[in-house]
Amino acid sequence: MTPSFARPLAALAAALAFVVPAAAQQKLQIAGNFASEHPSSVAVDQVFRKEIARLTNNQLQVDVFPAMQLGGAKENVDAVRSGTLALTWVGAAFLSRIAPELEAVSLPFVFTNREAAFRVIDGPVGAAIDRKLQDKGFVSLGWMELGMRHITNSRGPIRTMADLKGLKLRLQPNETHLATFRALGANPVAMDVKELYSALEQKVVDAQENPYTVISASRYGEVQKHISNSGHFFDFIAVVASKKAFEQLKPEHQKAVREAMTATIAHQRKLAAETEAKVLPELKAKMTYTEIAPAALAEMRSAAAPVIEGVKKRAGAELVDQVLAAAAKP
């Protein structure tokens, strides 16, 4: 939740997102909606900020604003696109309304592990999406791990698809995600992450779905009792810069931003895997954990399969087929 006193400052901070002081030093602001404890926020603060200073001999300074300090995910994306914010790291779903091609990497039950997901996003599919983002006013700097998404809820254990029937479930604003849970019998609701904790607390929605790292860092276990290992999507964090702000940088500073973020992403992916292994036992200790049997997951996968045809219409059949082929490789 963004403190009320921070809101008046957010607009001013966003307006100063790309500042050239009288001295030779330039400032870049990067904002995200993930909690300060999340692996992505830790990596940006500990690696990106320091690497930029090192690579540019302190000519570039990065100010990091995690935990929705400069607004929610949609606000950060819109600010970067307009050039009032230099960079953001954000769940890829929040860019899919601008670049529908991102839905091609949001397919239900397609990625069985993080290695398959990275094989797709680090290859020709990711390069094609990067080009689409460039056309929309962004410079793509790479893809962090958000992770495999799982369901939490306040209604009861989820063991089978029948347990999803009528479940009012908050989702990201991604049509593939929404269509998937409609196909599974739930009642999905698109909602920005900045509204989610209070919506769960006030029972506006029954459930939400996120990777274990987000569930832990955002403390959703305080307002949700049940958690299940649904693993229905693997999700990415897009790191994007404002094309307008990026092109104002000297070429050597553009190179430094890219190099620093490459190091940051490598660190974040490793940290994300380590953190997931650490927080899952903690979540199991706080919440009622229900294992979904392989046969029940297969039933869900079968029910969601027709959603892929809809994605082909929005994101392009060729791109979706590339994702499916790459994900299926051993």
Q: Domains of the chain, with CATH numbers?
A: 4-146+236-278 (3.40.190.170), 150-233+282-321 (3.40.190.170)
Task: For residues 211-215, give the mean pLDDT.
Answer: 98
Q: What is the pLDDT of residues 304-324, one digit of tens each?
A: 999 999 999 999 999 999 999
108: pLDDT strictly greater than 50: yes
Q: Given this model, what pLDDT does residue 228 score?
A: 98
13: pLDDT strictly greater than 80: no
Q: Given this model, what pLDDT does residue 6 score?
A: 45
Task: For residues 257-281, give the mean pLDDT.
Answer: 98
Q: Given this model, what pLDDT does residue 143 score?
A: 98
Q: How confident is the model at residue 330 (pLDDT cuts 50, 70, 90)?
A: confident
Rounded to the nearest integer, the mean pLDDT of the chain is 94
15: pLDDT strictly greater than 90: no
Q: Given this model, what pLDDT does residue 24 score?
A: 65
DSSP 272-325: HHHHHHHHHHHHHHHSEEEPPPHHHHHHHHHHHTTHHHHHHHHH-HHHHHHHHH
Q: What is the pLDDT of residues 167-179, one digit of tens each?
A: 999 999 999 999 9
Of 40, 115, 63, 67, the closest CA to residue 265 belongs to 40
* pTM listed for this prediction: 0.91
DSSP 30-44: EEESS-TTSHHHHHI
User: Which residues partner with 145 through β-bridges?
Assistant: 236
54: pLDDT strictly greater than 50: yes
Higher pLDDT: 252 or 2? It is 252
Higher pLDDT: 13 or 98? It is 98
5: pLDDT strictly greater than 80: no
Residue 47 contacts residue 96 (beta carbons within 8 Å): no
Residue 39 contacts residue 213 (beta carbons within 8 Å): yes
Task: For residues 204-223, give the mean pLDDT.
Answer: 98
The share of the chain scoring above pLDDT 90, in percent, equals 92
